[in-house]
Structure 1
């Protein structure tokens, strides 16, 4: 693959960060604040549905939507539920870092099951997700976002960072292969 195709693939995945705030709006519209177990579970699942759909769409066919979207939905729902309960729905920097890490553990495990078998070093995905989800919350909180409103997912600053880094990771695990178009390269 050419460097240009790799760059386009990474940029497209990174621009997919827009699914994060859209997912947060959708999750918040359904449940409001994440301040109880049902809100965490359903808000996380709705957010995961939107994020997973966005990621599947920008993956350039590397991720199977029929596997990735449900895995992200379930992983986010269960992850946010456990993470929010562990920190008793707190919204301090430390609470959100822990909540993000816990969410990332379950999300990473669920998404691992949805990664194509051709992905090399598959273990790296679930190892990275707790760190990246923690980072997303730390960046969002440090940017001055009013996280005490108990959102379902971190804000755009965290989302851009997480998307850019997961895009690099996805490329390492599952490089994009340009489709072959017979006759297209002929004069």
Structure 2
């Protein structure tokens, strides 16, 4: 008996929902910009990163179909993003060339990936893969955004829509295999009650 037939539509729905979550990126970026302005000094990088991470983490929880615990994921994303952006921005001296932003993204992804990996649920399989993938995916997000002609010289806290869609689509596949969505079982069907007369 084939029990894997529903897996494809379940994957497609959860992946599409996670990918649509790319909309959290520009919202998070606006929040980070309002909180800290341009990422051109350590305080702006740290504060902007924390605010951006908190909003992004919230958005990711909302599109995760309850696979991510907001009590762990949102603080982890905020802290990881803040410290990661601080590290990456300082190392590249707040530069905005393609190479500098890719390196900044890679370094941000190292810290963010480690923090989010610790926040993944206990039943996550091969959780280390998330930490290993995030530096490359974050660097790719900045690369795609820069090549897409976005005004990265404005020193944003996070990459734009092109990079966000790319990241969300690829990370959604990874999240599905590390932490598949399990539909909650409904209540057990009740048997009709048969009354007998004495």
TM-score using structure 2 length: 0.91
Q: Describe the superposition over 1:163-182 as per-residue Cα deviations: whole angstroms up to 9, x where unpaired.
A: 01111000010000011112
CA distance in 1, matches of 2:184, 2:172: 19
Number of equivalent positions: 186
In structure 2, runs of 5+ residues without a counterpart are: 1-5, 192-198
CA distance in 1, matches of 2:7, 2:81: 34
C-alpha displacement at 1:4, in angstroms? Answer: 1.2
Match of 1:52 in 2: 57
- Structure 1 SS opposite 2:180: coil
CA distance in 1, matches of 2:120, 2:34: 30
Match of 2:32 in 1: 27
TM-score using structure 1 length: 0.97
Match of 2:72 in 1: 67
Task: Choose the corresponding residue for 2:88, options 60, 64, 83.
Answer: 83
CA distance in 2, matches of 1:174, 1:89: 35
- Structure 2 SS opposite 1:80: helix
Match of 1:182 in 2: 187
C-alpha displacement at 1:6, in angstroms? Answer: 1.3
Task: Choose the corresponding residue for 1:10, options 15, 24, 27.
Answer: 15
In structure 1, runs of 5+ residues without a counterpart are: none
1:146 aligns with 2:151: yes
CA distance in 2, matches of 1:180, 1:119: 20
Task: Choose the corresponding residue for 1:133, options 135, 138, 141.
Answer: 138
C-alpha displacement at 1:183, in angstroms? Answer: 5.0
C-alpha displacement at 1:2, in angstroms? Answer: 3.0
- Structure 2 SS opposite 1:33: coil
- Structure 2 SS opposite 1:145: coil
Larger Rg: 2
Q: Post-superposition, which runs of at least 4 consecutive aligned residues in structure 1 deviate over 3 A? A: none
- Structure 2 SS opposite 1:132: helix
